[in-house]
Amino acid sequence: MNLTYPAEVEDFRTEVRKTLAEELPPGWRGIGAIPTREETEQFVLRWRGVLHRRGLLGVTWPVEYGGRGMSRLHQVVLVEELTRAGLPFGRQPLDSTGLKMLGNTLLQWGSDEQKASYLPGLLSGEIRFCQGFSEPSAGSDLASVRTRAGLEGEEWIISGQKIWTSGALACTHIFVLARTDPDAPKHRGLSFLLVPLDQPGIDVRPIRHMAGGEEFCEVFFADARTGASQVVGPVNGGWAVTRTLLTFERGEEAATNPILFRAEFERLADLARQTGAIRDPVIRQRLAASFARVEVMRYLGYRIMTDVLEGKELSAAASVSKLYWSEYHRQVTQLALDVQGLAGLIPRGKGPSRQQRADDPGGDPLSSNAWWQVSLNARAGTIYAGTSEVQRTIIAEQVLGLPRDVRP
Ligand SMILES: Cc1cc2nc3c(=O)[nH]c(=O)nc-3n(C[C@H](O)[C@H](O)[C@H](O)COP(=O)(O)OP(=O)(O)OC[C@H]3O[C@@H](n4cnc5c(N)ncnc54)[C@H](O)[C@@H]3O)c2cc1C
């Protein structure tokens, strides 16, 4: 494990700190301290504009596509500094899907034409992609997708249904995993397509979830169309492209998650002090266990970063990281509800601005609204990007070398 960063990366840290000092409003305490939800949303959009203008979105991307050609360690340092200052990296979940997942995948698999058409627009925010993978009968077993696409002349014609598509209503495009050869074995007959959402063959319907939000949707395709050149990677070779994308989805924040979760833990400890729950020996023990888990997460992050620097394959480590943070978050948010006791049932304060991961840094520890919404959303963390059961199978097979699980 290597705990030091090279000098040029530390120079970049200095640049980021300088940018934050110049661009943040005076007295900045973190995004959670902004008084209302509307003001928070306005700030997030404005802040995304600042990151774009200062060349801090897509720092690892090549200069020709609007990036800065830096290393992944530079990206980690950037997100470390933003997280420490209580700032989001872009607009979530759209930038997670567009920049982190699709942008990075296009750099690996996209044609020159696709990179030139999409990457600058993803950075500016004019092009916004959602993820069209899951279907009503294909989630964990993603390769069973039934949405079909066939080439007719210069276009792919697509029919079928996707579900749980986060942010679809705010997006301009969707990337779709579709069956393009129904006769091939299921992993070999799939293609990865880039599809514009604004067309007559596509109907997007929001789904309201138990925390009250409507971030995810059903997307129906009835002879929807996209150009023949909009397939990423080989035709019928979409599974390999999908695996690349899932690794970006699961593993990218391994080194920076612990900073976010540590800030949330500090707010929980504050809550326990202010409510007096800290005097309860069982609560104290559970707090101590949570602190220990955040520390383990930190060292896990360092280990994964060391692997990245040594150019090792990330896939199984990404699963370890995803399983660890999402299971931790369910436990710690349940503890937050227990610390509040009956008082937590009375809605108070502002809800969180983000629907995924930890609560907003700088938020009021006594906001029961924030804790219960984050706690409900933490239930989703062990499902999206692959459930805990699926991650355990990957770890069992790829890390521990246990015999392969039974496949249906
Ligand atoms: C907040 C949120 C946002 C999401 N956003 C998106 C999005 O933007 N785009 C998108 O495409 N999808 C999205 N999803 C969907 C997500 O990827 C799926 O929910 C997930 O892959 C699980 O699939 P499923 O819901 O069909 O459950 P299923 O696959 O039906 O699983 C049901 C249960 O069975 C277990 N199980 C299944 N197979 C196995 C096995 N082989 N071994 C052991 N246990 C098993 C699972 O662990 C789970 O507990 C989102 C989900 C959530 C919760």
In this prediction, residue 144 carries a pLDDT of 96
Contact 177/184 with Cβ under 8 angstroms? no
Cα(398) to ligand 1 centroid in Å equals: 20
CA–centroid distance for 164 within its chain: 14
The string of pLDDT tens digits covering residues 28-73 is: 999 999 988 889 999 999 999 999 999 999 999 999 999 999 988 8
Token pair in block for residue 190:
């799939």
Burial (0-12, 13-18, 19+ Cβ within 10 Å), 267 = buried
Which two tokens mark 189? Answer: 């007959």
Q: Cα separation of 408 and 405, whole Å?
A: 10
39 noted as active-site residue: no
Alpha helices by DSSP H, 254-314: 257-275, 281-309
User: What ligand 1 atom has the least distance to the C-alpha of 167?
Assistant: 8
| Active-site entry in 80, 135, 249, 253 | 249
Peptide bond into 93 cis (omega under 30): yes
Please tell me the chain's helix, strand, coil percentages from 3-state DSSP, rounded to the nearest 5. Answer: 50, 15, 35
Q: What is the pLDDT of residue 353?
A: 78
Interatomic CA distance for residues 41 and 261, integer angstroms: 22
CA angle 135/136/140 to nearest 5° reads 65
Q: Does ligand 1 come within 6 angstroms of the Cβ of 389?
A: yes
382 C-alpha to ligand 1 centroid (Å):
9
Q: Whose CA is nearest to atom 37 of ligand 1?
A: 140
Whole-number pLDDT of residue 408: 64
> Does ligand 1 come within 6 angstroms of the Cβ of 165?
yes
Indicate if ligand 1 lies below 6 Å from the C-beta of 166. Answer: yes
Please give the pLDDT value at position 355: 67
> Which atom, in ligand 1's list, is nearest to the CA of 136?
26
Distance, CA 397 to ligand 1 centroid (Å)? 19
Q: Which residues of the chain have pLDDT under 70?
A: 1-2, 251-252, 355-356, 408
- How high is the pLDDT of residue 304? 83
Ligand 1: does its nearest atom lie under 6 Å from the Cβ of 216?
yes
Residue 164, helix vs strand vs coil: strand
Residue nearest to atom 23 of ligand 1 (CA): 139
Distance 161 CA to ligand 1 centre (A): 15
Question: Tell me, what's the pLDDT at 129?
Answer: 98
Q: Which of 260, 209, 231 is nearest to 384 (CA)?
A: 209
Amino acid at 110: G
Q: What is the pLDDT of residue 316?
A: 80
Q: For residue 79, which of 289, 260, 294, 318 has the smallest C-alpha distance?
A: 260
